[in-house]
Amino acid sequence: MDRIEERQGLLSALPLSVLMVLIFVAPLIVVAVFSIMPPRVFDVLHMPSFENYRIFFTQGYYRSLGWALGMAAMATVTLFVICYPLAYAMAKIFKKFTLIITIAVVVTLFVSENIRLFGWVLTLMKGGLISGYLRTYAGIDIDGWLYNVPVIVFGLVYVYFPFMLFPLVQGISMVPEEVRQAASDLGASRTRIFFEIDLPLAMPGIVVGSLLTFVLAAGAMAESKLLGGQAVIVMADEIEAAFTFGQNWSLGSALAMILILIIGSLAFFALSRVDLDGIMGRRG
Amino acid sequence: MAPPVVLRLENVTKRFGLFTALHDINLDIYDGEFLTIVGPSGSGKTTMIRLLVGMDEPSEGLIYLDGKVINRVPANKRPTCMVFQSLALFPHRTVGQNIEFPLKIRGVDERRRRARANELLDLLHLPRDYYGKGVMQCSGGERQRVALARALAFDPEILFFDEPLSALDYRLRKALEKELKQLHRQTGKTFVYITHSLEEAMVMSDRIAIMRTGSIAQVGTRRNLCQPEKPLRRRIHGRGQPVRCRGPGRRAVSGARRGYVGQRRPSRYRRRRARHLDGAAGIRPFPDSRGCRRLRSQRPDG
Amino acid sequence: MVNRRTFLKGTAAVAGLAALAGPRRSWAGRENELNILCWEGYNTDDVLGPFRAKHPGSRVRAESGTSDPDMINKLRAGEVNVWDLINVNQPWARNQLYPEGLIKPLNRARFEPYFDLMLPEFQGPYPLALDESGKELIGMVQRFGPFSFVVNTDKISRQMAEDQGYKLFLDPKMKGRYGVLTYDNWNIMHMCMAADLNPFAPLGESDFAKFSKVAKAIFDGAKLLTDDLVGMNTALINGEIDAYFTGGTYTASPARFDGQTQVRGITPKSGPVNGKGGVVWVEVTSAVNNPDPTPLAEDFLEFVQQPEICKVVAFAEGTYNPVTQMANPKVMALFDKDELDAIQWDSLPEEMERSVDYQIVVDYNRLNELYNAAKRS
C-alpha cells in the first residue's frame, strides 16, 4: 500500500519537477557550460578551458566581487540595525499602525526601482532638492552627496528595506511574549533577554531577511550606477559588460558562476541552520 | 501566633483606561503559606498576579515585600518568580539550560549549576538524562516539571503560579496537584496559586482568597470559607457541583475578621439577592451581569 | 519510483507538445508580421502607427536595445528566427553580423536610388552600408551623429574644447570636474585617441601601455561614471561636472532641446586618425537572415524614407538626431529653428568633416581588458 502511494506521489510531482528543472536548472547549466568554454565563443561546441576563471584572478575581477559582497554586507548589517527596532514595534507594540506602515512600505514597491533611485539622485545631487533648499534658505553652499561608496550603500539600504523588514517582523512575532516575561521574571536584564531570547527565537526571520537583502544587494547594479556613478564597479556590472561590450559570453558566464557559487553556498549554509518551517507558520 | 507577613497589598487599585480591573485590594500573604486566589475569568486575578510579580504597576495603593514598598521594582529585580499558564519555557533550549537559566543570570559557575539542576531534576522526579533533552521534545507533564524546576532554581521568596495545570488532563492534574502540595511542604516556600477552580484550591491551599469583579470577596482557610458565601462559591463553580464544607462555617466567618481583610461586607441587598438566586434552582453562570453593572456604576471613575 | 515506461510516456508527451508548437509557426506564414530590433525611436507609435495603418491586419512589433552588443547578443543567441530588421551602428553590420550570416543583403536596385537623396557623405552609396566586397547592400542609413565629448560652454568655451580635444580630460585642473559616460565600446576608441593612438590600426605593446595610462588617468579624474545620459546631463547642468567623456549630439540634444543650449557636443579639431579626432556613428538598418522572411521588412525600410517619417525618426523619443535625408528640402522644411539648434545643425558639416567613421577597433579585446582593469582600479 505504502509503495503505491509513494509512487503516486512521485508521479504526480513529476510534471512540476520537470518544469522546475527546465525553468531553473537548465539556464544555470547553460551558464555553467559556457563558463568553461574558451573566451569569446558563441556556442558550446569547443574544448573546455578554464581560461575564464584564470582571467578572474589575473585581471582583478576579484576586486569587483569584493566590492559587491562588501557593500552587500554593509547594507545588510545597516538594514538589520535599522529594521530591528521598527520590526519589533510592528510585531509587538503598534496595532493598527502596523498595517499603515506595511501599506506605506509596500506601496513604494509599485514604483520601479530605477525611478525611485533617480528620485534620490535629484534629491541628493548638487543643486538638487536638499542642496538647493539649503542654498536658497540657509545660504549654505554644499556639494551633492552622490558618487561615492556610502551613497551606494544608502541606495541598497533604501531599495532592499522591505526585504529585511517583513521577514524580521515575521520572525519577531514568533517570539512569545510570555517567554520574554518569564526570562525577565527569572532575573534577566533587557540586554540579556535580547541576546538569549529575542535573537535566537527570531533567528529564522533574521536569517531569511539578511539572506534576501544580501543576495539581492550582491547582485544589484542600479544603485552603483545611478547613485554611485560607478565610484566602484560591482560584479553584476562586470558580468553585463563582459556579455555586451566585451562580447565575451564565456567570461561573463564564468563571472556569473563565481557569484552564483558564492551566494548559493552562503544561502545553503544559512538556510540549513534555521527552521524554515517556523517562519512559514507550520510550527505550532 | 500567625507567621510574619511577607507580602502585603494595601488599597491596591489597577485601572486600564476607564476600566477598573482591581478595586481597592487589601491582602496579606504569610511566610510559607500556600495561598490560592480563586476567581472566574475576568475577576482580576491575572491582573493581580501581574502586579505581584512586577509586570505591571498598580494605579493606586502600595505593595510591600518584607516591609518595603516594591510598586516600581520591575520583575527582574524582584526575589519572586512565577510559573506561567503557558509555562513559557525557552523552546530553543534544553531542559538543563532552561533549569539553569536563573543561575546563569546570576553568574553561578557551570559545575554548581549542573549540580543544582540535577538536584532539581531529582526533586521533580525527572530522569537526570533529560538534562540534554530539547524542552519541546518533552511531554506536557514533563514540561510542567521543567517549568517548576526552573522557578525553584531561581530560589524565590515567593513562588507564583498562574493556572499552570489548566491545560492538563484530569488525572495528570490530580497527580500534579498532589505533588505541588508535597513540594510546598518540602521547600517551605510561600506559594501563591491562581486558579478558576475552587476544587483545585480546596485540595492544595492553606488559605483561599475568592475574587469577584476586581475585589476580594473573602479570604479564609478551607474551613471557614463556607457560609454564608455558599451561593458565591456555587456561582464560581458554575457547573453546579457543590463543595462539601467540613467546618461549622457560619461561626468561623462571623468570628474572623480575617475573612474580610479590609473588605466591605456584601451589602444586605446583595446577600439577600444571592440567597434568592441560590434558592432559584441551581446553576447560575458567573459573572452575574447585572451585579457587575451595578458594581461598576458604584465605582469612582478615572 | 519512476520507471522506464512512465519516463518514456512523459518524454513522448513533451515531444508531442513540441511538435504541436513547432510547425504552427511556419504554417501561419509571416506575410503580415514584422519584428524590429532597434535603437529607441523606431519603436514609437509615431513611426509604427502610420506603417500599421498602411498595412492593416499586420502585426508590427519593435523592441529597443540598450546597446549594439546587447542587440547582437539576441541574434547570436538564436533569435534570428524572431527578428526581421536590426538597427545597429555601422561597423557591427559590416564586420560582425554580415560575415556571421546573421543579416542578409537588401535588394540593391530597390534601395540604391534613396542614397542619392541623402547628404553628400552618404551618397554613392555610403561605403559602410555595403559589404567588404562593395557588391552587396547590407543596410539602409538614417540617423547619424558626431560623438566625441560634451562640455558645458558656460564653463569651458567651445573654442578651447575643440582646440584641446581629449587632452582636456588629462589636464590636472579638470580632475574631479568631469564624468565618464560608460558606453564602453566608444570610450575605448576615444581613449586611444586621447593617447594619440589610432584605434582602427593594429597597436603594439608600448601602445597598450600608453592606452592603459590614459585610461587610468581619465577614470581616476572622473567625478562620476554612468551609462545614463539623462543623469549625466543633469550633473552637467547643475554644475556637478563641466564636461563628460564621451558624448555628442546624441547625448546633448535632449538637454539642448530643453533650452539648455550650453550643453554642447564637441568635435576636436585634430586627432591621430589621419589628422582627425572625431568619430561619427551612423545607424545601419539591415534585414535579419530570418529563415522565415517577411516582405514587410523591406517595405518598412522604404517606408521610413518618406519625409514625414524621417522627421519623426529624427525627433522620436529620448534623443534627437540628424538624419541622412536632411539633404532633401522637403525633409528640412519640417524642422524648426529650435529643433535644428538641438541637433547642432549649425556646426554639423564642419564636425562631420573632422570626424571619421565608427569602425571596428582592431585590438578591441585587449583594449577592453585594459579598459575594464582601469575602470575597476
* Touch between chain B and chain C: 3 or more Cβ pairs under 8 Å: no
Tell me which of C208 and B277 has the higher pLDDT: C208
Q: Is residue B140 part of a domain?
A: no
Q: Is residue B139 part of a domain?
A: no
Q: Is residue B250 part of a domain?
A: yes
* d(C-alpha C187, C-alpha C181), whole Å: 8
Interface residue A187 vs chain B (CB under 8 A): yes
- Picking from C261, C260, C278, C258, the residue whose alpha carbon sits closest to that of residue C269 is C278
Across C158-197, b (16+ Cβ under 10 Å) vs e yields: eeebbebbbebbbeeebeebbbbbbbbbbbbbbbbbbbeb
Interface residue B91 vs chain A (CB under 8 A): yes
Q: Which three cell numbers stand for residue A256?
A: 556569473
In chain C, the N- to C-terminal Cα span, in Å, equals 55
Q: For residue B22, what pLDDT is reported? A: 92
Query: Which chain B residues are closer than 8 Å to A186 by Cβ?
Result: 76, 81, 101-102, 105, 150-151, 154
Q: Is residue B54 part of a domain?
A: yes
- Picking from C238, C226, C282, C228, the residue whose alpha carbon sits closest to that of residue C263 is C238
Q: Which of B86, B102, B106 sits opposite A178 (nearest CB)?
A: B86
Query: Which chain A residues are closer than 8 Å to C184 by Cβ?
Result: 241, 244-245
Interface residue A121 vs chain C (CB under 8 A): yes
Query: Which chain A residues are closer than 8 Å to C11 by Cβ?
Result: none
Residues 6+ apart with CB under 8 A from C44: C312, C316, C317
Which chain A residue's Cα is nearest to C13? Answer: A15
Interface list for chain C against chain A, based on CB atoms closer than 8 Å: 1-2, 6, 10, 14, 66-67, 69-70, 72-73, 76, 179, 182, 184-185, 223-228, 231, 234-235, 238-240, 365, 368-369, 372-373, 375-377
Whether the complex's predicted ipTM is more than 0.85 is answered with no
Q: Which three cell numbers stand for residue A80?
A: 538589520
CB atoms inside a 10 Å sphere around CB C107:
12
Residues 6+ apart with CB under 8 A from A138: none
- Looking at the complex, report in whole angstroms how far the Cα of residue C300 sits from the nearest Cα belonging to chain A: 28
Domains and CATH numbers, chain A: 59-279 (1.10.3720.10)
* Average of per-residue pLDDT across B79-85: 91
Helix/strand/coil for A142: coil
Which chain A residue's Cα is nearest to C223? Answer: A147
Amino acid at residue number A25 = V
Strands (E), C235-335: 243-248, 263-266, 278-288
Pairing of strands B34-38, B207-212: parallel
* d(C-alpha A59, C-alpha C362), whole Å: 21
Q: What angle do CA C233, C238, C239 make, to 5 degrees?
A: 100
Q: Is residue B227 part of a domain?
A: yes
Residues 6+ apart with CB under 8 A from B224: B247, B249, B252, B253, B255, B256, B259
Query: What's the burial of B243, exposed, middle or buried (CB within 10 Å: 0-12/13-18/19+)?
Result: middle
CB-defined contacts A:C, below 8 A: 96
Task: Name residues 100-139 of chain B within 8 A of A (Cβ).
Answer: 101-102, 105-106
* d(C-alpha B153, C-alpha B101), whole Å: 8
Is pLDDT at C122 greater than 80 in this prediction? yes
Q: For residue B31, what pLDDT is reported? A: 92
* d(C-alpha B166, C-alpha B169), whole Å: 8
What's the pLDDT band for C65 if we cut at 50, 70, 90?
Answer: confident
Backbone angles phi and psi of B103, in degrees to 5: -70, -40
Tell me which of B224 and A271 has the higher pLDDT: A271
Is pLDDT at C211 greater than 80 in this prediction? yes
- For C165-175, the pLDDT digits (tens) are 999 999 999 99
* d(C-alpha A213, C-alpha A221), whole Å: 14
Q: Which of C2, C69, C239 sits opposite A245 (nearest CB)?
A: C69
CB atoms inside a 10 Å sphere around CB C7:
11
Interface residue A186 vs chain B (CB under 8 A): yes
* d(C-alpha B294, C-alpha C209), whole Å: 97
Poorest-confidence range of A73-77, A276-280, C145-149? A276-280
Residue B214 belongs to domain with CATH number: 3.40.50.300
* d(C-alpha B91, C-alpha C3), whole Å: 44
Is pLDDT at C111 greater than 50 in this prediction? yes
Q: For residue B41, what pLDDT is reported? A: 85
- Looking at the complex, report in whole angstroms how far the Cα of residue A139 sits from the nearest Cα belonging to chain B: 50
Is pLDDT at B29 greater than 80 in this prediction? yes
Number of domain units in chain B? 1
Q: Is residue B91 part of a domain?
A: no
Q: Which three cell numbers stand for residue A177?
A: 511574549
What's the pLDDT band for C14 if we cut at 50, 70, 90?
Answer: very low
In chain B, the N- to C-terminal Cα span, in Å, equals 41
- For A84-116, the pLDDT digits (tens) are 999 999 998 888 899 999 999 999 999 999 899
Q: Cα C59 to chain center, whole Å?
A: 26
Determine whether the interchain pair A147/C373 forms a contact, defined as Cβ–Cβ distance below 8 Å.
no
* Average of per-residue pLDDT across A158-183: 93
Q: How many CA atoms lie within 13 A of C312 on its CB side?
A: 17
* Average of per-residue pLDDT across B111-133: 93
CB atoms inside a 10 Å sphere around CB C359:
17
Helix/strand/coil for A8: helix
Query: Mean pLDDT for chain B?
Result: 78
Task: Report yes or no: A167 and A79 within 8 Å, Cβ to Cβ.
Answer: no
Q: Which of C14, C73, C373 sits opposite A59 (nearest CB)?
A: C373
Which chain A residue's Cα is nearest to B101? Answer: A186
- Picking from B110, B106, B197, B102, the residue whose alpha carbon sits closest to that of residue B159 is B102
Q: For residue B267, what is the DSSP state?
A: P
Q: Could you tell me the residue range of the domain that residue B209 belongs to?
A: 5-79+156-298
Q: Is residue B107 part of a domain?
A: no
Q: What angle do CA B178, B180, B186 make, to 5 degrees?
A: 105
Poorest-confidence range of B164-178, C122-136, C236-250? B164-178
Number of H helices, E strands in chain A: 15, 0
Interface residue A64 vs chain C (CB under 8 A): yes
* d(C-alpha C237, C-alpha C176), whole Å: 16
Task: Report yes or no: A75 and A157 within 8 Å, Cβ to Cβ.
Answer: yes
Q: Cα B63 to chain center, whole Å?
A: 16
* d(C-alpha B266, C-alpha B216), whole Å: 11
Domains and CATH numbers, chain C: 30-142+283-334 (3.40.190.10), 145-279+357-376 (3.40.190.10)
Query: Which chain C residues are closer than 8 Å to A230 by Cβ?
Result: 182, 224-226, 375
Determine whether the interchain pair A186/B105 forms a contact, defined as Cβ–Cβ distance below 8 Å.
yes
Q: Is residue B164 part of a domain?
A: yes
Number of H helices, E strands in chain B: 10, 10
Task: Report yes or no: C121 and C352 within 8 Å, Cβ to Cβ.
Answer: yes
Which chain A residue's Cα is nearest to C182? Answer: A230
Q: For residue C330, what pLDDT is reported? A: 94
Helix/strand/coil for A180: helix
Pairing of strands B60-65, B5-16: antiparallel
Task: Report yes or no: A213 and A163 within 8 Å, Cβ to Cβ.
Answer: yes
Determine whether the interchain pair A181/B92 forms a contact, defined as Cβ–Cβ distance below 8 Å.
no
Poorest-confidence range of B92-106, C29-43, C99-113? C29-43
Helix/strand/coil for B242: coil
- Quote the crossing angle between the two packed helices C364-376 and C184-194, to the nearest 10°: 90
Q: For residue C165, what is the DSSP state?
A: G
C255-259: long-range contacts (C-beta < 8 A, 24 or more apart)?
A: C256/C341, C256/C342, C256/C343, C256/C344, C257/C320, C257/C338, C257/C339, C257/C342
* d(C-alpha C185, C-alpha C170), whole Å: 20
Query: Which chain A residues are closer than 8 Å to C10 by Cβ?
Result: 14-15, 18
Compute the 3-state secondary structure of chain A and give helix, strand, coil in percent, each to the nearest 5: 75, 0, 25
Helix/strand/coil for A140: coil
- For B153-177, the pLDDT digits (tens) are 999 999 999 988 887 888 888 888 9
What's the pLDDT band for A2 if we cut at 50, 70, 90?
Answer: low
- For the four alpha carbons of C221, C226, C228 and C230, in that order, the dihedral sign comes to negative
Helix/strand/coil for A17: helix
B71-79: long-range contacts (C-beta < 8 A, 24 or more apart)?
A: B74/A184, B75/A181, B75/A184, B75/A185, B76/A184, B76/A185, B76/A186, B76/A187, B76/A188, B76/A189, B77/A187, B78/A185, B78/B53, B78/B54, B79/B156, B79/B157, B79/B158
* d(C-alpha B154, C-alpha B144), whole Å: 16
Q: For residue A134, what pLDDT is reported? A: 86
Is pLDDT at A57 greater than 70 in this prediction? yes
